[in-house]
Structure 1
Amino acid sequence: MSTPTNPSKPVLSLGPVYYLWDGPKWRDFYFRIADEAPIAHVTIGEAVCSKRLHFIEPFVGEVIERLEVAGKQVSLASLALVTLERESQLVRGLVRDSTHPIEVNDLSALHLLAGRPHSIGPLVNVYNGATARLLASRGATSICLPPELPMTSVHGIIGENPGVDFEVFAFGRVPLAISARCAHARSKGLIKDNCQFICGEDPDGLTVETLDSQPFLALNGVQTMSHTCQALLQELPEFVAAGVSRIRLSPQDCDMAAVAHIFADAISGRRSACEAQADLADVYPNRPFSNGFHYGQTGAAWISVDAGAVARSPVT
């Protein structure tokens, strides 16, 4: 396994909003990202539930224009689960009509994009170097690795694929699973076909508790997410040394422009890992942070890195 001898600093990217936000809130969120956030690449679109598309469709054009005027690169997300012919048609139309790169979140889009440059989202299981090579051979120019991968796997995959840009999921509730059924609707006495878009009542996900009333997971429509928020700030030096190209932030219902500034400052060294972590807790309060997956342990765990060890591995 080779390690870059003079690694460059990664840039920040922003994944799609996984939650159901009403159209004006969704639009205004991206307008602020365009105007205030030090983010280089933004992926927009509906990845979780096709029924939500009509909320954001009227605003997609002006959001793309605002982001591009601000110098951001824009990609469009494909659905993470295609179960209906209507959804299959949506994916085909997206690939056929889009003038922007597509982020693949489900393998059903791959045959439509064969040979055409595209990116791979974190919802696709890229668990080894061979899979990454196969995807790159079919036109993938960047791959966001799954958030559950430990750093040892990240090192191995990047080391085996020097010509591919890799991205890591560094901030946000971790997307764990997606289903054809809507547990969010069922939890509120509704069914998927008549859900009344009840997931919109929980713009940051609906917390699921164990029988002992302990927070465990979160529901987001048909998607299951972690209760904790993955926050890989103290791990940034490792990503730089490994040659990671992008650090992905996943939108939560908080001040994401401030989150982006915190990560940008941590990458550049303007804030120490400890300072950045404390500032992040102020921006996104009352949500426990986690980094267990990074260390090959339980995903919800929080493992503190010795401040001296962090200082000995500066972001350069």
Structure 2
Amino acid sequence: MQLSLGPILYNWAPERWRDFYFRIADEAPVEIVSVGEIVCSKRSPFLSDHIPAVVERLQNAGKQVLLGSLILVSLRRERRLTEELAAVEGALVEVNDLTCLKALAGRPHAIGPFVNIYNEASAAFHAARGARRICLPPELPLASVATITKAVPDVTTEVFAFGRVPLAISARCYHARLHKLAKDNCRFVCEKDPDGLLLKTLEQQDFLTINGVQTLSHTCANLLGEAGLLRESSVGALRLSPQDCDMVEIARIFRDVLDGRDDVEGGNRRLAAAYPGVPFSNGFLWAEPGHVYRQARPGDAQASAEIGPP
């Protein structure tokens, strides 16, 4: 089973963004890496100068690189950026908005978790039009994951396995509104929250996380304990979403458990130490509320605890 690293969703300083990927290239046991600004097109110019060096470093390290498209395309400028991305020769584009498909015109590509592939018919539709990898939406239950994966055996399917869960995207910028700024004059205030801004209810309960125009969960998805079940369901890769923590260590933990060098219990202890203070969740996979973290139960304990090599 492969490990993939999704794109950075947060607004990190350009040099930090570049150095993060350089370290991923040199140290992280992941096979697939998605890069690019996919949340807010206003951030893109800050990263554009670093992308060629990042891609070269990752490819020289033997990683397959995906170029991520915007999640929401609503402006002419954003449509033009999407068309330019699709025109890059030799690159595998990860589609996060369907407007990107026309520009790709049947060329091989990947599908990101922001495209609503909820059944085997939609997966087959995209596979027939050139999709070679599909990262399924994180809200799908295990039964749906298994059904979709078996319907497209020639496509590598991924499941979102670690990170705050992306829930929604909007044309409005929550960060700008919070700071009483207009979206067009946001002053990039989202950079103050490199792991997103936690929202609480009126009862002071942790609720959601905002990231500019994006809404995420306040919990961190953790499917380490379900990796065995996902492998049995023919899932080809687990996706790790970058958070404000040591993602090289996160990747090593997943790799150690997948390869049998550590067990799930030990891996979870290490994950909690590497990303402290953020509760885990896996409810979506068990068809329960997404914020729930369900412990192993009789009947799935063996599959989820004994992951070793197939």
- Specify the TM-score bucket, using the shorter chain as the normaliser: over 0.9
Matched, 1:203 2:198: no
**SS at structure 2 position matched to 1:293:** helix
What residue identity is the alignment partner of 1:114?
Answer: A
Structure 1 pair 191/89, CA: closer, same or farther in 2 (3 Å)?
Answer: same
Task: String of CA shifts for 1:40-84, please: whole Å, max 9, x gaps.
Answer: 010100100000011211111111111111111101000000110
Q: CA deviation at 1:311?
A: 3.7
Cα RMSD (Å) = 1.2
> What is the letter of the counterpart of residue 221 of structure 1?
G
* 2:53 corresponding residue in structure 1: 62
The answer as to 2:260 corresponding to 1:263 is: no
Q: 2:138 aligns with which of 147, 157, 178?
A: 147
Aligned residue type for 1:208: L
C-alpha distance in structure 2 between counterparts of 1:114 and 1:291, whole Å? 36
Give 3-state SS (helix, strand or coil) of 1:18's partner: coil
Question: How far did 1:99 drift?
Answer: 2.8
Residue 294 (str. 1) matches residue 274 (str. 2): no
1:38 maps to a residue whose letter is P
Residue 87, structure 1, aligned to residue 78, structure 2? yes
Q: Counterpart of 1:176 in 2: which secondary structure?
A: strand
Matches within 5 A, 1:106-255: 106-255=97-246
1:99-155 CA deviation, whole Å, 9 max, x = no partner? 310000000101111210000000000000000000001100110000010001001
- Secondary structure, aligned partner of 2:216: strand
Q: Which amino acid aligns with 2:95?
A: V
Note if contact 2:124-2:152 (Cα within 8 Å) is conserved in structure 1.
Answer: yes
SS of the residue aligned with 2:49? helix
1:154-195 CA-partner distances (Å, limit 9, x unpaired): 011112222211000000000000001101211121121110
Q: Deviations over 1:243-268 (max 9, x none)?
A: 11111000001000000000001111
User: Matched residue of 1:35: which SS?
Assistant: helix
Check 1:227–1:312 CA distance in 2 against 1; reply closer, same or farther (3 A cut). closer
- Provide the residue aligned with 2:9 in structure 1: 18
What is the distance in 1 between the residues matched to 2:133 and 2:250? 23
8 Å CA contact 1:274, 1:307 repeated in 2? no
Q: 1:217 to 1:125 in 2, by over 3 A?
A: same
Instruction: Give the alignment partner of residue 269 of structure 2, picking from 261, 265, 278.
Output: 278
With a CA cutoff of 8 Å and minimum separation of 6, indicate the structure with the bigger relative contact order: 1
How many pairs were matched up?
Answer: 307
Q: How many angstroms apart in 1 are the aligned matches of 2:254 and 2:43?
A: 30
Partner Cα distance (1:236, 1:135) in 2: 25
Deviation above 2 Å: which 4+ runs of structure 1? 306-316
- Summarize the Cα distance change of 1:67–1:217 in structure 2 as closer, same or farther, 3 Å threshold: same
Aligned position for 2:19: 28
Aligned residues with identical type, % of pairs: 53
Q: Deviations over 1:189-248 (max 9, x none)?
A: 112111000000000000111011111000001000000000001000011111111110
- Alpha-carbon displacement from aligned partner over 1:20-55 (angstroms, at most 9, x marks no partner): 001100001001101110000101001000000112
How far apart in 1 are the matches of 2:303 and 2:25? 35
Check the 8 A contact 1:172/1:231 in 2, yes or no. Answer: yes
User: Would you say the 8 A contact 1:117–1:141 is kept in 2?
Assistant: yes
Contact residue 198 and residue 207 of structure 2 kept, 8 A:
yes
Q: Provide TM-score, normalisation by structure 1.
A: 0.95
Q: Give the 3-state SS of the residue equivalent to 2:194 in structure 1.
A: coil
2:254 match: secondary structure:
helix
Mind listing any 5+ residue stretches in structure 2 that lack a counterpart? Answer: none
Name structure 1 gaps, 5 residues minimum: 1-9
Is 2:4–2:30's contact at 8 Å kept on the other side of the alignment?
Answer: yes
Q: Distance in 2 between matches of 1:239 and 1:292?
A: 15
Cα distance between partner residues in 2 of 1:56 and 1:98:
20
Q: Find the counterpart in structure 2 of residue 75 from structure 1.
A: 66
- Does structure 1 residue 39 correspond to structure 2 residue 30? yes
Question: Structure 2: which amino acid aligns with 1:34?
Answer: A
